[in-house]
Structure 1
């Protein structure tokens, strides 16, 4: 396992219980690991949404939520928060 895979698994483990994690999401958590390394505790919902949008484009082709973050409704924006929290927690642990 390499350092990005380690970070991806750390983030996955820090997502709070009850949050739906998409099937086949290893690549998504690798993108979140890059956010951990590049943004650390400064990561935003918009950053997480952009990473998810890239992953969804590659894995699903299309999805109604593959739009700029500002165009999402409030409840869809809220869905990114648990992943922001997990990335920020991981960054605190990694001191990024």
Structure 2
């Protein structure tokens, strides 16, 4: 992990201000929760693939993508972090190239 990623995990775990000499076991649960929040594992172990249907309204397409994302990954695509970026990339990959 890069230093800024480690700081982000520690900030989310509320352990940023604790000394480095503290035992890991005292903060393991909080750090584990922060890691799962920032880097959740998808249920299907893959990022869902979306496909644009030209007969579909753009709003309906986004709603379908959100629903499918939540079903397959178990996370909300509106959450901050890498999940939102992955969702955005998956939605854009499902669109035709001219879009």
Q: Give the structure-1-normalised TM-score.
A: 0.30
More helix by share: 1
Q: Larger relative CO (CA 8 A, sep 6+): 1 or 2?
A: 1
Structure number with greater Rg is 2
Q: Give the TM-score, by structure 2 length.
A: 0.29
